[in-house]
Copies of this chain bind each other. A is one copy, B any other.
Amino acid sequence: MKIDKSLVRSIPLFDRMSDADLDKFLGHAVSRRVPAGEAVFEQGAAATHFFLLLHGRLKVTQVTEDGQQIIVRVVHPGDLFGFAKALQRSDYPGTALAVAESIALCWPTELWPQFVDRNPRLAVTAMQTIGQRLEEAHTRIREMSTQEVERRVAHAVLRLANQAGRKEGTGVRIDFPISRQDIAEMTGTTLHTVSRILSAWEGKGLVEGGRQKLLVLDLNGLAALADHVKE
């Protein structure tokens, strides 16, 4: 298996690993193509592998007992995901669904302890990564606790623009198919409300919508909305 090392190197989790160890690590990996709409793993399934996204885009979702769905996070190229076993779970807490054609590296979870034993730094950096996710989660909790829907949506869109934005003409295109429903599930609201908000924004020239499309025209304007303390 021949894998480009540069992408792997670029992610903090591996940047300090020796070249030999990295080769060994990659040697155990299997790469897997995932067509859009297909799941890499399902919520509740045994956590047999952990993954690194090389290309494409995934959304990790959870479904509540009563059938409601939320988007836990979006996985971008270079992100590690399906970490469950390392966090002492035996099953995946969510479903990872490809929203665009994707390619992921897969390792059997059993290998994780070995890699950590051989390379203690790995555990440290992994912990930092998780720590970052924890912070993001707290940010989200803070927003949901204190901000009204429009500001939350503004923040979510800005984050997407940062993480998955591609310059396009006057604005920034969100670089994967995303529906109002998705945005609703990321911000804790309904697709109706999101639709209304985006329509209003479109009226003000802040964004430009479309079926599963979003183009941000005025980042500053959006940021103002997101930060603006209503007076």
Contact = CB atoms under 8 A, between A and B. Distances in A.
A88 B138 contact: no
The count of identical subunits is 2
Contacts of A131: 83, 86-89, 130
Interface size class of A (residues with CB under 8 A): 35 or more
A interface majority secondary structure = helix
Contacts of A227: 65
Nearest to A73: B138
Interface string A50-91: 000000000000101110101010000000000100111100
A64 B152 CA distance: 14
Most buried by B among A116, A123, A144, A145: A145
A188 interface: yes
Interface in A121-163: 123-124, 126-128, 130-135, 137-138, 140-142, 144-146
Interface of A: 62, 64-66, 68, 70, 72, 83, 86-89, 93, 113, 116-117, 120, 123-124, 126-128, 130-135, 137-138, 140-142, 144-146, 185, 188, 227, 229
